[in-house]
Amino acid sequence: MEERGNWKIKTSKKVYENPWISVDHHEVIDPSGKDGLYGLVHFKNKALAVLPIDSDLNTYIVGQFRFATNEYSWEVPEGGGTLQLSSEREALRELKEETGIQADNLYPFLEMHLSNSVTDEKSKSFVAFDLNMNPPQPDTTEKITVRKVALGELFGMVEKGLIKDALSVASLMRLELILLKNQLSTYEQVKNWFTLHS
């Protein structure tokens, strides 16, 4: 019998699969010793987010309609990266696709487990500096609007609940905390901090 911490797995069965996810049905013995069921969604990609920061402390967000929530959503540039390639390479690709931005410097600053009670999805967030602007190249299934926003304004959008995407909210709040805690108020200060701490 396979064990996961204080859970015991009696049987496992894949009940659904597509190119992006699979869903497994487990019959388990839970930590209290009782029989139970556990459905687990496995993600075949890693979730990546990038906050591109220009010399005036502006960033770029993307808007798109999300099928799962049936709502329009403003988010930081983000998407799925293949597990076989480096997160940095895949994050730069995603940034270029969604916004057209190419960045010369990229620094990781946040890793998370997303919805860890039902999925194994992991995420990694980056800040990007030294930006070169080009036309976006979104996937054919995506209809994206790119918007330039001052970081301070974007933090305010999170506080007002105008941004609801979990990866975007967490990335922006982590960045705001870094800026406030270290009293970083200029582009050079922000870039130098990430250079030293990444």
Average pLDDT, the chain: 95
Looking at the structure, tell me whether residues 92 and 186 fall in a common domain: yes
Identify whether the C-beta of residue 75 lies closer than 8 Å to the C-beta of residue 88: no
Looking at the structure, tell me whether residues 35 and 57 fall in a common domain: no
Residue 23's pLDDT is what? 98
CB-based contacts of 131, cutoff 8 Å, min separation 6 = 52, 53, 54, 101, 102, 103, 104
At 63, which CATH number?
3.90.79.10
Looking at the structure, tell me whether residues 180 and 88 fall in a common domain: yes
Total-model pTM: 0.93
Residue 186's pLDDT is what? 96
Looking at the structure, tell me whether residues 33 and 55 fall in a common domain: no
Half-sphere exposure of 110 (CA within 13 A, CB side): 25
Backbone angles phi, psi at 165, to 5 degrees: -60, 125
Looking at the structure, tell me whether residues 180 and 116 fall in a common domain: yes
Looking at the structure, tell me whether residues 38 and 54 fall in a common domain: no
Total number of domains constituting the chain:
2
Q: 4-37, pLDDT tens digit by residue?
A: 999 999 999 999 999 999 999 999 999 999 999 9
Amino acid at 17: E
Residue 166's pLDDT is what? 96
Q: What range does the domain containing 106 cover?
A: 46-197
Residue 117's pLDDT is what? 94
Residue 59's pLDDT is what? 97
Task: Report residue 70's pLDDT band, with 50, 70 and 90 as the boundaries.
Answer: very high
Looking at the structure, tell me whether residues 70 and 37 fall in a common domain: no
Looking at the structure, tell me whether residues 125 and 159 fall in a common domain: yes
Looking at the structure, tell me whether residues 31 and 109 fall in a common domain: no
Per-residue pLDDT at 79 exceeds 90? yes
Residue 137's pLDDT is what? 82
Looking at the structure, tell me whether residues 97 and 188 fall in a common domain: yes
Task: Report residue 71's pLDDT band, with 50, 70 and 90 as the boundaries.
Answer: very high
Looking at the structure, tell me whether residues 13 and 96 fall in a common domain: no
Alpha-carbon distance of 134 to 80, in angstroms, equals 21
Per-residue pLDDT at 139 exceeds 80? no
Task: Look up tokens 């998407």; give the residue.
Answer: 79
Per-residue pLDDT at 111 exceeds 80? yes
Looking at the structure, tell me whether residues 114 and 190 fall in a common domain: yes
Domain-terminating residue out of 43, 58, 73: 43
Residue 80's pLDDT is what? 94
Alpha-carbon distance of 65 to 85, in angstroms, equals 28
Q: 183-195, pLDDT tens digit by residue?
A: 999 999 999 999 9
